[in-house]
Structure 1
C-alpha cells in the first residue's frame, strides 16, 4: 500500500446517488483530525478548547475521538466481517452511524467502518489503534518528483459524461475559495486567465464585499509553467498527490494549494486530439464528433468543504471574513453555492 494525501472531499457528502471509491486501489491516507464518537456540540466547547483543536469559527459539533484514522478503498480491506447490529444507513447502504461495523474475522474485535451509502464516498476507515503498519516487499515507496508529475500531466476533467460537474472539482474549489478569501484580505481578486477565473472568480465576486480597485492579481504557478509577469500577489499552486505538500514558487507571494489533478487541467488545458478518419483531416481541424461535454448548470464550489476549510483558518476571526462565514453557514445553498 502506498500513502497519499487525504483527499479534500474525504468527509463530505455529494448529491443523492452512489459515489465511487474515495481511494484508488493500493493507496491509503491518514486523517490527522479526530474522528468518530464521542461528539460534543459547539455550545459545550470553549473558544480556547476549539482553537487548540485548530477550529476558529462555530461548527455544529466536534469529534473527540481518536485521531489518525486510516482510509482505504473497500476492495483493499482483508480479513474483516460485517457486524450485523451496526449496519445502519440512510437508504442505500452503510453510513457508520452505529460506530465501527467491521470486525476482525479471527478475533471478532471491531476494527473499521465501512461507508457505502448514497451521497458518501465509498471507503473503509480503519481504527488507528487496531492497525499496525508493516513494511512491504520490494523497494520503499518514494514520492514522485514535481518534474515527473508535470511530464505525466495527469488531470481530472471538470465535467462528467452525464453533464454534471465533477464532485472532486467542486470540493477542490470549495477549499480553494476559502483560502483565496483569506489571501485577499478583503480586496477584489482578478485572475490572469479565463479558465481559472471561471472556476474561482464567480464565487469570490459574490462573497467579497465591494471594494475599490486595484484588485489583487492571482495566477497559476507550478512545475513546467512559465512565471507570470508581472508577478501576482496570489498564486495557485499544486498540492503534491502523495505528500500533500504545496509546490513552492519563487518570490514573496501568498500561495493557495489546489488538488494536483485539478491544477494540471487548469494549467495545461488541452483540446481533444484529431481522430484519424478515411482521407485524413486538414491541418488544424479537429473532429466535432463526439461533441465536447457541456455542463447542465453553472459551476458551484462545495459549500460544505468551503465552511469546513474556512473554519480552520485563523483569518476567519477577522470581522469581515467571519461575516462571510456566518452568511454561508446560514444559507449554504445560496449564490454562489
Structure 2
C-alpha cells in the first residue's frame, strides 16, 4: 500500500491506499443531486487525461492543440489542467485545510473551479482539490506535482482481478434503492455506447437477447442508426462461454485493478469496454428462474409467480455528458463517417 505525502514538507496527506482502476463514472454525475464518495475507502486511482482548470475555448485553441489534450472533435472548452491527478475518497485525506478564497461552487458544495483548494497544514503548499458539489461524486484530487507517492510499510491486500467479477458483491444492480436508475449505470452505458459507435463506425447494431437487449436496447436505438446489415454485438469475458458464431463486436469488462479491457485469447475482434460491475451484472445477473418453495410445496417444486425485477417508469437513458466526452476523446472521431455523426448531433 502507498501513502501520498506533501512534496514540500513530506507530511502524509492520505491514509494507506491501494491503486485500482479509474471508475468510468468519475466525471459524470446527476445534476442537482448530492453524490456519495467516488472511491472506496483505502483505494486511489489516476486519471491520465488533463482535467480541471485552466479551461480554454475550442475556438481559441484549435483542432491541433486540442488533439494534444486528447480532444478530437469540437467542444465548448478544453481542459489544460494537469495529467495524472490522483483521486482518493475524502475520508482518506489527511493533514489538509480548505483555502477559503478557493471554495466556489454551484449551490451545495465546492466544485474546484478555482483550482487546488486544499493546502498542506504542514507547510501551506496547495496540494489538492476537494469536490463535493451537487452533480459531482465526492472526491479529493491530489496534484501530481505537489505530492510524493511513498510506501506505507503495510502489506498490500488482495489485488483486484478478473475473479472478482464472479463475486455477487461486485455486481452493480441497474436500479437504486429509491427505485431510480443507477447513476453509475447511466454513466457506464454512455461511455460504452461511445466506444460502440466508434467500433461500428456508426453502423446499425444487433444486440443479443436477454439482459443486454433489455437494458441497453433503448439507449442503442436512440444513439445508433437503424437499417440493414447491422453489426452483431455479443457479451464476452472471463467465465463467459464465447458466443458462436463470434459477433462483430464484443462487450467486455474493464479490469477492476488496471482498467484495461478484457480481450479474447488470439482474437483481433473489436471490443467495447464496460464498467466491470455493470458487465458483471449483465453476465451473472443472479437468480432469474422461479425460486424453490420451502415449507409449503415439496422440495424441488418451482413456484410460477416469481416476481419480475423492479424497473423505473422510464427506460434507461445513457448519461449525455459521458457519451459525448468519451466520443470526442476517441481518435476515431476524426474519420469522415464519425465526424459527420458528431457534427450532425452537436455544436460546440
Could you say which residue in structure 2 is the equivalent of 1:42? 58
1:276/1:19 CA distance change after superposition, 3 Å: farther
User: Among 146, 151, 161, which residue is 1:130 paired with?
Assistant: 146
Could you say which residue in structure 1 is the equivalent of 2:201? 185
Could you say which residue in structure 1 is the equivalent of 2:333? 316
User: Among 274, 295, 302, which residue is 1:284 paired with?
Assistant: 302
1:111 deviates by 1.2
Is the contact between residue 220 and residue 267 of structure 1 (CA under 8 Å) also seen in structure 2? yes
Q: Secondary structure at the match of 1:75?
A: helix
Output aligned runs, 1:159-308, within 5 Å: 159-213=175-229, 215-250=230-265, 251-271=267-287, 283-285=301-303, 292-308=309-325
Q: Secondary structure at the match of 1:133?
A: strand
Q: Secondary structure at the match of 2:213?
A: helix
d(CA) in 2 for partners of 1:194, 1:233: 18
d(CA) in 2 for partners of 1:78, 1:57: 39
Is the contact between residue 193 and residue 219 of structure 1 (CA under 8 Å) also seen in structure 2? no
Could you say which residue in structure 2 is the equivalent of 1:105? 121
Q: Deviations over 1:172-221 (max 9, x none)?
A: 100111111111123221112231123333333333334323x2111110
**Residue 70 (str. 1) matches residue 70 (str. 2):** no
d(CA) in 2 for partners of 1:156, 1:15: 21
d(CA) in 2 for partners of 1:281, 1:23: 46
1:279 deviates by 5.2
Is the contact between residue 275 and residue 287 of structure 1 (CA under 8 Å) also seen in structure 2? no
1:68 deviates by 1.4
d(CA) in 2 for partners of 1:280, 1:136: 57
Q: Deviations over 1:70-89 (max 9, x none)?
A: 11001000011111222221
d(CA) in 2 for partners of 1:245, 1:117: 30
d(CA) in 2 for partners of 1:63, 1:279: 63
d(CA) in 1 for partners of 2:347, 2:66: 20
1:40 deviates by 1.2
In structure 2, list runs of 5 or more residues that go unmatched.
Answer: 1-16
1:278 deviates by 5.8
d(CA) in 2 for partners of 1:191, 1:211: 14
In structure 1, list runs of 5 or more residues that go unmatched.
Answer: 332-337
Is the contact between residue 66 and residue 128 of structure 1 (CA under 8 Å) also seen in structure 2? yes
Q: Secondary structure at the match of 2:151?
A: coil
Which deviates more, 153-162 or 315-324?
315-324
TM-score after normalising by structure 2? 0.87
d(CA) in 2 for partners of 1:80, 1:281: 63
**Residue 10 (str. 1) matches residue 23 (str. 2):** no
d(CA) in 2 for partners of 1:44, 1:203: 34
Aligned length: 328
Is the contact between residue 13 and residue 119 of structure 1 (CA under 8 Å) also seen in structure 2? yes
Is the contact between residue 69 and residue 126 of structure 1 (CA under 8 Å) also seen in structure 2? yes
d(CA) in 1 for partners of 2:54, 2:311: 44
1:59 deviates by 1.3
Tell me which stretches of 4 or more aligned residues in structure 1 moved more than 4 Å. 272-282, 286-289
1:4/1:280 CA distance change after superposition, 3 Å: farther
Could you say which residue in structure 2 is the equivalent of 1:334? none
Which deviates more, 246-255 or 66-75?
246-255
Is the contact between residue 216 and residue 316 of structure 2 (CA under 8 Å) also seen in structure 1? no
